[in-house]
């Protein structure tokens, strides 16, 4: 059975434990933080386990790459702590269960992963995907399972993820372009943390787009836009991709506005938090985030994660701002149109 | 010997009378599991006078006559058990009046829910009626006759409770106004302050008369509408959750779904409810209020709200819901039927247990939708099973499961809604004999020759 590879010595040597003291939701001084974190490590009860919003940020704040968030999830499960109501967890467990239905395109050795998100069927077309648009996998059989970190279900990840990886391998895929960066985080952070082997090369779609845009440089017209970027929870597991995003924006002439809730101080979309902690905290977070976006007067609000899009794009539009996905922003730069738009939602009466 | 066909063509244009086998075939069955039986004639009248003349003919010749709306009950209520004349009401589909200040619509007997909805949406967007989750070709009258339920049932009761007047052709051919329209130009009440005679025509499965006009109440149509979804995995909590939500007096409709597929449904009870408002502020207040109404379940982790993304909301907000038709094709072959007792909501947990037991016993896919009625006085609980129409064995098993479900429901506080013939029989068996006697007398009084939809409610 896979077990979390975790170096307790690193924690013992850590003086400031920023993983805890920088938490946006649990206010802790260093002394209390050390004491409570030690309880977590020792398998004792700590209020941290109950209070955690599962925002993933502690993983990014850890200066030692020790994955404290994975430790929290591990301990939550062992203690039977439910970060969200049990039926919500059941729903997630059941709806993503592999059922032997392989949804694949005309696969090549290099393929796109749509994860289990239909948005990518809309997004992954045009010049930027000319060679790969039909080489794609989608659905439960290729679902990365990282979402179960929100639900204290490490055991499920350990059970399902190796099978998912095997499903991908069996398709003959050597390079997997992850359009959902939660997939990339799974294959480059989560799987290694549990010693799960990944027999293919995961590529973050930012890096894929950078290469494509470089190849299409004659067709790229700098957009000259200022954008507010919605940084999602899974980027906390792979913060290095932020540099790629900066490079990508640079290539297409987009300025990433400096705002309070971006980069390490980002706020998540808050819908997982709504289901876990209730509407007040979620509404407060979304308001702070949206106010902050608005304050920089962006030409667009840019989304990376489709789940963030589903949670916030309508609210962004209601405030008079324009939501767009990173891929679509790049499409604009090569003279194409935005493909992922808000559903026209009319209350039918 | 009298030629009924020619008699009918003397009443109605010959294009709207048929005794052709291909048409009789269609009119001899419905989409459910009850055995087919064909009429001898099909006729589509256009006016109340034509209906009267047909009824008089049937009476004179003692021929069975079966009025039919959309034919969507699934329980065989308009399968002509004794042959005779099938009266298809579809041509009587006028929307005669929308009385805006009186908040009612006066329609003909064959007007569909889809037509009324469209008419209101186009011309009176601030008004609405209670739309059932059947296909839009369901007729307003037939749905009320079977005590159908709709999107306003949680707030306003059965769709028949929202009727405010009738015009009926009695089984002996007279035209009779029921309610205030009997003495006034206005159709504002089906009974009060007069004796309420409307109940002579609701729940009788078309055995007491033919409704040629009906007034239905219209209600405010708020500008905004939203849907909320609460899950619990404990069936025994469902009744209290339903009641707590109902007692907020803030929710419009409430339906609890239990089914094993799609997989996201498995292991949970989906409590879906709707809120409306004229402003986002009003909606947001209601959202929060409902959240906090169920906070104790959330805090104990026994239940939680699902954050619904736009693509999930769109199908949930559609009226009527298309989920029923999707469910119908779970067993390829497109068949489903449900046994739907009206029951106390406290029975939810035992009913759902029985639903699952029967699915295992008869190897069937199941689903249940329980709609709260009138703030919690009762619910309609559907024991639904799917079948492949090309597979007689599956159909037989589905019928056995439904029969067993009906027996169980009747033994556990329920009363069958739109009962098929078998369910009518077990209902009659269980009924207070004096009630049965009263029904018998009423039926004899209204339909002395027993021509109206014979076979149904055979209490004589």
Mean per-residue pLDDT, B350-372: 97
**Closest B-chain CA to A93:** B264
Q: Is the pLDDT of residue B438 over 80?
A: yes
Structure confidence by residue, pLDDT tens digits, A69-92 = 999 999 999 999 999 999 999 999
CB contact under 8 Å between B267 and A88, yes or no, is no
Whether the CB of B25 is below 8 Å from some CB of chain A: the reply is no
Instruction: For B230, list phi and psi in degrees, rounded to 5.
Output: -115, 135
- B193-238 pLDDT, tens per residue? 999 999 999 999 999 999 999 999 999 999 999 999 999 999 999 9
Instruction: Kindly provide the ipTM of the predicted complex, given to two decimals.
Output: 0.94
List the domain boundaries for chain A. Answer: 8-78, 93-208, 216-333
Q: In CATH, what number does A93-208 get?
A: 3.40.50
Beta bridge partners of A256: A227
pLDDT at B460: 45
Decide whether A93-208 matches A216-333 in CATH topology: yes
Chain A residue nearest residue B318, CA to CA: A348
Q: Which residues of chain A have pLDDT under 70?
A: 343-349
**Residue B124 CB-density burial (10 A; 0-12 exposed, 13-18 middle, 19+ buried):** middle
Contacts of B116 in chain A (CB under 8 A): none
Range(s) within chain B of domains with CATH label 3.30.43.10: 4-89
Distance CA B303, CA A278 (A): 12
B264: chain A residues, CB-CB within 8 Å: 91, 94-95
Interface check B434 vs A, CB under 8 A: no
Statement: residue B449 has pLDDT above 60: yes
* pLDDT tens, position by position, A5-63: 999 999 999 999 999 999 999 999 999 999 999 999 999 999 999 999 999 999 999 99
Residues 6+ apart with CB under 8 A from A176: A110, A111, A112, A113, A168, A183, A187, A200, A201, A202, A203
In the DSSP assignment, the letter for residue A186 is: I
Mean pLDDT of B446-458: 95
> How many Å apart are CA B30 and CA B35, to the nearest integer?
9
Alpha-carbon gap, residue B314 to B316, rounded angstroms: 5
Instruction: Return d(Cα B249, Cα B41) in angstroms, integer.
Output: 49
Location of structure tokens 């008089």 = B56
Residues of A in contact with B218 (CB under 8 A): none
In this prediction the pTM is 0.95
Say which CATH class B4-89 falls into. Answer: alpha beta
Nearest to B267 among A94, A99, A271 (CB): A94
First vs last Cα of chain B: how many Å apart? 28
Average pLDDT over residues B412-430: 95
State the pLDDT at residue B164. 98
- Among residues A226, A233, A203, the alpha carbon closest in space to that of A53 is found at A233
Residues of chain A found within 8 Å of residue B305, distances taken between Cβ atoms: 274-275
**At B334, is the pLDDT very low, low, confident or very high (cuts 50, 70, 90)?**
confident
- How much is the pLDDT for A324? 98
Q: Å from B292 to nearest chain A CA? A: 9
Q: Under CATH, what is the fold of the domain B91-220? A: 3.30.465
Q: What is the pLDDT of residues A123-142, one digit of tens each?
A: 999 999 998 989 999 999 99
CATH 3.40.50.1100 fits A216-333, yes or no: no
* B38 has a pLDDT exceeding 90: yes
Q: Shortest CA distance to B130 belongs to which of B152, B110, B112?
A: B152
Considering only the top CATH level, what class is B223-417?
A: alpha beta
Collect all residues with Cβ–Cβ distance below 8 Å to B305 and sequence separation of at least 6.
A274, A275, B228, B229, B230, B231, B291, B294, B298
């Amino acid at each position: 059975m896979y077990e979390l590879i975790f170096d307790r010595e690193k924690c013992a040597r850590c003086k400031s434990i920023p993983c805890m003291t920088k938490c946006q939701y649990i206010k802790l001084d260093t002394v209390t933080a050390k004491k409570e974190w030690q309880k977590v490590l020792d398998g004792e009860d700590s209020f941290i386990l109950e209070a955690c919003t599962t925002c993933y940020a502690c993983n990014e704040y850890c200066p030692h790459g020790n994955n404290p968030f994975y430790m929290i999830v591990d301990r939550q499960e062992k203690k039977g702590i439910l970060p969200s109501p049990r039926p919500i967890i059941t729903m997630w467990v059941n709806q993503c269960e592999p059922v032997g239905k392989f949804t694949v395109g005309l696969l090549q050795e290099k393929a796109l992963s749509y994860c289990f998100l239909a948005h990518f069927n809309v997004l992954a077309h045009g010049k930027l995907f000319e060679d790969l648009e039909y080489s794609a996998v989608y659905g439960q059989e290729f679902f990365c399972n990282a979402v179960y970190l929100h639900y204290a279900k490490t055991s499920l990840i350990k059970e399902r993820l190796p099978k998912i990886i095997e499903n991908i391998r069996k398709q003959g895929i050597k390079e997997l372009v992850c359009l959902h960066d939660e997939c990339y985080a799974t294959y480059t952070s989560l799987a290694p943390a549990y010693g799960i082997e990944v027999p293919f090369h995961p590529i973050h779609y930012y890096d894929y787009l950078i290469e494509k845009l470089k190849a299409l440089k004659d067709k790229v017209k700098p957009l000259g836009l200022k954008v507010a970027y919605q940084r999602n929870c899974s980027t906390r597991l792979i913060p290095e991709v932020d540099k790629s995003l900066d490079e990508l924006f640079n290539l297409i002439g987009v300025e990433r506005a400096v705002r309070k809730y971006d980069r390490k101080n980002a706020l998540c979309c808050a819908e997982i938090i709504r289901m876990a902690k209730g509407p007040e905290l979620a509404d407060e977070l979304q308001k702070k985030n949206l106010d902050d976006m608005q304050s920089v007067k962006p030409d667009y609000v840019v989304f990376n994660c489709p789940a963030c899009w589903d949670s916030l794009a309508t609210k962004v539009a209601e405030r008079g701002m324009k939501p767009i996905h990173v891929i679509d922003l790049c499409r604009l730069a090569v003279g194409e149109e935005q493909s992922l738009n808000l559903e026209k939602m009319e209350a039918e009466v | 010997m009298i030629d009924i066909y020619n008699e009918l063509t003397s009443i109605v244009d010959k294009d709207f009378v048929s005794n052709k086998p291909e048409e009789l075939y269609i009119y001899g069955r419905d989409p459910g599991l009850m055995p087919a039986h064909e009429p001898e004639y099909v006729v589509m009248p256009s006016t109340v006078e034509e209906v009267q003349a047909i009824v008089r003919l049937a009476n004179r010749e003692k021929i069975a006559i079966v009025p039919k709306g959309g034919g969507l009950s699934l329980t065989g209520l308009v399968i002509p058990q004794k042959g005779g004349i099938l009266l298809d009401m579809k041509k009587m589909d006028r929307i005669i009046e929308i009385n805006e200040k009186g908040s009612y619509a006066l329609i003909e007997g064959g007007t569909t829910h889809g037509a009324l909805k469209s008419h209101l949406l186009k011309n009176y967007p601030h008004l609405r009626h209670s739309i059932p989750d059947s296909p839009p070709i369901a007729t307003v009258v037939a749905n009320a006759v079977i005590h159908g339920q709709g999107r306003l049932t949680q707030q306003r009761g059965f769709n028949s409770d929202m009727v405010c007047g009738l015009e009926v052709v009695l089984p002996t051919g007279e035209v009779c106004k029921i309610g205030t329209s009997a003495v006034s130009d206005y159709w504002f009440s089906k009974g009060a302050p007069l004796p309420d005679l409307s109940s002579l025509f609701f729940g009788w499965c078309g055995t007491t008369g033919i409704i040629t006009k009906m007034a239905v109440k219209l209600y405010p149509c708020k500008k905004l509408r939203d849907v909320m979804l609460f899950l619990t995995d404990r069936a025994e909590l469902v009744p209290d959750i339903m009641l707590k939500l109902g007692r907020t007096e803030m929710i419009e409709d409430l339906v609890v779904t239990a089914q094993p597929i799609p997989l996201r449904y498995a292991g949970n009870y989906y409590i879906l409810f709707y809120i409306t408002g004229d402003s986002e502020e009003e909606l947001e207040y209601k959202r929060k209020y409902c959240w906090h109404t169920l906070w104790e379940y959330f805090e104990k982790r026994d239940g939680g709200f699902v954050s619904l993304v736009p693509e999930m909301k769109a199908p949930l907000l559609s009226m009527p819901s298309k989920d029923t038709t999707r469910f119908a094709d779970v067993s390829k072959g497109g068949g489903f039927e449900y046994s739907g007792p009206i029951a106390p909501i406290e029975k939810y947990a035992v009913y759902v247990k029985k639903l699952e037991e029967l699915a295992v016993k008869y190897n069937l896919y199941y689903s249940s939708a329980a709609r709260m009625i009138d703030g919690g006085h009762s619910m309609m609980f559907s024991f639904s099973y799917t079948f492949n129409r090309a597979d007689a064995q599956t159909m037989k098993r589905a019928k056995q499961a439904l029969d067993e479900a009906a027996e169980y429901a009747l033994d556990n506080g329920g009363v069958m809604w739109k009962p098929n013939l078998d369910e009518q029989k077990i209902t009659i068996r269980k009924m207070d004999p004096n009630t049965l006697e009263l029904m018998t007398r009423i039926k004899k009084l209204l339909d002395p020759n027993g021509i109206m939809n014979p076979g149904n409610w055979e209490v004589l």
